[in-house]
């Protein structure tokens, strides 16, 4: 019997074809809806490999009953949806998709920053709703980006790629990270400061840290109060790094001026969520790495990682 591979979302046939020649491959039938939990558990019990989305919970319950499972290839750089400890105990290899999405995610992060500060989405809505009656001097006046200070929280490769873009805008770039990055300081001219200094000094606070026990709930009421009231908060990492109720209050009180959010505590966020009622919030449906080329590269990398592990080789991008 050929090893069974379960893919939790409908992916293009061309991407999965290389797996189909060697393995018994099944995909969840929908492209735009998540596989139900009970089906995922049932498939995992038979599977030698899973190709998962960041919205699938690969927890102890799933791993415990997955007796044949050798590898979980997660279609994301983040892997907070996976219980790494349980996977290790079970000898299951976890892979993610770093590097291939770095520049694409940095592009989106910068697009979100620019859209939020120059009110691009609001302006688009304004014109399409027929509100543009005359040019006027302060119409939709926003905040400058060039020559301002950006503070990056989480200086991984995406952070560095965002910093390079910021330098092209003549911005000063501060960063805070678990470990210092002397090479980035040298080559990019970024400056390491404490978390409190990032909050106090930045015009743009940009979150690019992975979600883990250290970063969960890192932004609470206190942190927003320490920011400039002209500051713009950008989150392109994970929603749970931020207390969303605290963010909402900070925006309403004017502790900060705006927020650009690609990620939320609960995804999908519901359209009547109070954050989405604010003009100074630009919201995107977790599309950081979503260019066609990059998403295909990520899928291909998942396929290659699965092939490697099932052949007994080292995968290209194992986690840890
Ligand atoms: C997206 O959020 C990712 O982790 O790749
Ligand atoms: C940020 O999440 C990174 O890994 O660069």
What does the pLDDT look like over 123-158, one tens digit per residue? Answer: 999 999 999 999 999 999 999 999 999 999 999 999
Sign of the Cα torsion 31, 35, 39, 43 reads positive
Instruction: Indicate if 108 and 237 belong to the same structural domain.
Output: yes
Q: Give the residue from 25, 5, 151 showing the smallest Cα distance to 66.
A: 5
Main-chain dihedrals φ then ψ at residue 188, nearest 5 degrees: -105, -15
Kindly tell me if the per-residue pLDDT of 320 is higher than 90: no
Instruction: Indicate if 62 and 130 belong to the same structural domain.
Output: no
Residue 85 lies in a domain: yes
ipTM for the predicted complex: 0.74
Rounded to an integer, the average pLDDT of 62-89 is 98
Find out whether the beta carbon of 236 lies less than 6 Å from any atom of ligand 1: no
Task: Give the pLDDT of residue 315.
Answer: 98
How many Cα atoms occupy the beta-carbon half-sphere of 67 within 13 Å?
Answer: 1
Task: Give the pLDDT of residue 275.
Answer: 98
Catalytic residue among 9, 119, 238, 295: 238
Task: Give the pLDDT of residue 292.
Answer: 98
Kindly tell me if the per-residue pLDDT of 1 is higher than 90: no
Rounded to an integer, the average pLDDT of 269-277 is 98
Find out whether the beta carbon of 288 lies less than 6 Å from any atom of ligand 2: no
Instruction: Indicate if 238 and 94 belong to the same structural domain.
Output: no
Task: Report percent pLDDT > 90 for the chain.
Answer: 99
Task: Report percent pLDDT > 70 for the chain.
Answer: 100
CATH number, domain with residue 203: 3.40.50.720
Residue 74 lies in a domain: yes
Residue 102 Cα to ligand 1 midpoint, Å, equals 10
Residue 320 lies in a domain: no
Instruction: Indicate if 83 and 48 belong to the same structural domain.
Output: yes
Instruction: Indicate if 133 and 239 belong to the same structural domain.
Output: yes
Residue 212 lies in a domain: yes
- Which is the closest atom of ligand 2 to the Cα of 158? 5
Structural domain span for residue 208: 102-283
Instruction: Indicate if 155 and 269 belong to the same structural domain.
Output: yes
Instruction: Indicate if 113 and 136 belong to the same structural domain.
Output: yes
Ligand nearest to the CA of 79: 1
Rounded to an integer, the average pLDDT of 161-187 is 97
Mean pLDDT score of the chain, rounded to an integer?
A: 97
Residue with tokens 């590898």: 71
Residue 39 lies in a domain: yes
Residue 221 lies in a domain: yes
Catalytic residue among 9, 119, 176, 286: 286
In the chain, the number of structural domains is 2
Asked if 48 contacts 25 with a C-beta cutoff of 8 angstroms, the reply is no
> Cα–Cα distance between 206 and 71 in angstroms, integer?
33
Instruction: Indicate if 218 and 273 belong to the same structural domain.
Output: yes
Tally Cβ neighbours within 10 Å of residue 27: 17
Find out whether the beta carbon of 237 lies less than 6 Å from any atom of ligand 2: yes
Residue 316 lies in a domain: no
- Which is the closest atom of ligand 2 to the Cα of 157? 5
User: Distance from first CA to last CA of the chain, Å, rounded?
Assistant: 31
Residue 289 Cα to ligand 1 midpoint, Å, equals 7
The DSSP annotation for 109-135 comes to HHHHHHHHHTTHHHHHHHHHTT---S-
Instruction: Indicate if 297 and 241 belong to the same structural domain.
Output: no
Residue 40 lies in a domain: yes
Rounded to an integer, the average pLDDT of 244-264 is 98
Instruction: Indicate if 200 and 167 belong to the same structural domain.
Output: yes
């Amino acid at each position: 019997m050929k090893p069974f591979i379960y893919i939790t979302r409908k992916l293009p046939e061309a991407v999965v074809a290389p797996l189909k020649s060697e393995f018994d491959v099944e995909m969840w039938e929908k492209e735009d809806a998540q596989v139900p939990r009970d089906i995922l558990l049932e498939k995992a019990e038979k599977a030698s490999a899973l190709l998962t989305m960041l919205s699938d919970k690969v927890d102890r319950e799933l791993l415990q009953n997955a007796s044949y499972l050798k590898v979980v290839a997660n279609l994301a750089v983040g892997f907070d949806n996976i219980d790494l400890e349980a996977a290790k105990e079970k000898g299951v290899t976890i892979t993610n998709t770093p590097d291939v999405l770095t520049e694409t995610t940095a592009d989106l992060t910068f697009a979100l920053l620019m859209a939020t500060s120059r009110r691009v989405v609001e302006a688009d809505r304004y014109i399409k709703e027929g509100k543009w009656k005359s040019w006027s001097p302060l119409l939709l006046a926003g905040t400058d980006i060039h020559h301002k200070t950006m503070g990056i929280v989480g200086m991984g490769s995406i952070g560095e790629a965002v910093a390079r873009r910021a330098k092209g805008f003549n911005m000063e770039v501060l960063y805070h990270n678990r470990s210092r990055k002397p090479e980035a300081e040298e080559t990019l001219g970024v400056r390491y400061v404490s978390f409190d200094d990032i909050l106090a000094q930045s015009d743009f606070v940009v979150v690019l840290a992975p979600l883990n026990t250290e970063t969960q709930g890192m932004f609470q009421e206190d942190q927003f109060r320490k920011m400039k009231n002209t500051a713009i908060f950008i989150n392109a990492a994970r929603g749970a790094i931020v207390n969303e109720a605290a963010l909402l209050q900070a925006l309403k009180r004017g502790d900060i001026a705006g927020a650009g959010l690609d990620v939320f505590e609960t995804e999908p966020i519901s359209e009547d969520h109070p954050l989405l009622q604010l003009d100074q919030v630009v919201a995107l449906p977790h599309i950081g790495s979503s260019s066609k080329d990059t998403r295909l590269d990520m899928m291909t990398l998942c396929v290659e990682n699965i092939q490697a592990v099932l052949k007994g080789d080292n995968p290209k991008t194992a986690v840890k």
